[in-house]
Amino acid sequence: MKLLCLLSVIACLLSATGCASLAGRAAGGFADNLSSAIRNQNDPETVRAAAPAYLLLMDSLLQERTGNAPLLGAAANFYALYGVVFVEEPVRSMRMSERARDYGNRALCARDDATCGWRDMSSDEFAAVLAGLDEDDAPALYSFALSELAYLRAHSDDYSALVELPKVESALERMIVLDESYEHGSAHVLLGVLNTLRPPSLGGRPEVAREHFERAIELSEGRDLSVKVEFARSYARLLYERGLHDRLLTEVVEADSNVPGLVLSNTLAQAEARKLLASADAYF
């Protein structure tokens, strides 16, 4: 199930809000510096090797700060990233996504206890609760939605879990209302993916997806190369638009990846763009 590509997740780890909170409350400037080092690392394997230590650090901090929403959100983000991007074994990926989901749920609940029982709510009831959130809740809401998507990706064979998808979509739509520019417009990217999960004949909404992808490119001023990769993968391949597909990916390959705060994401995007271009003849 193509629910959440690895490049869509990168932005979640790089949440300045979560890392700044971790720095301020736990380790001075250490976490801020570590986050910056990760974001600006052009060797993904270095991040892969170092990530487990950071995961354990956040677990240990949360043993004392069980209700700290920013720290819970940062932990949800990082577990989602690691489980989707760097873990290849399905069982391990499932475990990581379960931890991410737990932290993401707790982060949102810590911000507003009206959200705590969201699984027992109808979609309309949950939408009403979401309407009560404000801009300060945006980071926790994003971590919630992202960790839920990571969980659904890792548990794609569990069709009972997919009933929660409309609620996650509602959370992302509310996120856009609260702060659409958060994480370079990543909520738009995720909604673009969600709207291309099915072809038009089965209820998919690719033109809505295209609007989300184009808005994400606009919000990041084209600097976040992962948006164009997902636009090509999710939309152009779905509708067999070879021209758009190749143009987007060529732009990614030829772009300067050295954008402060997006070096890791862009490095991964360019590697993925090359793979998609190499497979285009066979696909189209």
How confident is the model at residue 279, as a pLDDT? 98
DSSP type of residue 198: S
Q: What is the CATH T-level fold of the domain 180-284, as seen in this structure?
A: 1.25.40
Q: Is 158 exposed, middle or buried (0-12, 13-18, 19+ CB in 10 A)?
A: exposed
Q: Residue 244 has what pLDDT?
A: 98
pLDDT attached to residue 247:
98
- CA 172 to chain centroid: 11
pLDDT tens-digit readout, 34-59: 667 888 888 988 888 888 888 998 89
Q: Is the pTM of this model over 0.85?
A: no
Residues of the chain with CATH 1.25.40.920: 1-178, 180-284
pLDDT reported for residue 34: 66
**Rounded mean pLDDT for each run of 10 residues along the chain, 284 residues in total:** 43 40 44 71 87 87 86 90 87 94 96 94 95 95 93 82 86 96 92 85 88 97 95 95 98 96 92 97 97
The tokens describing 114, both together, are 């009206």
Architecture of the domain made up of 1-178: Alpha Horseshoe (1.25)
What is the pLDDT at residue 33? Answer: 64
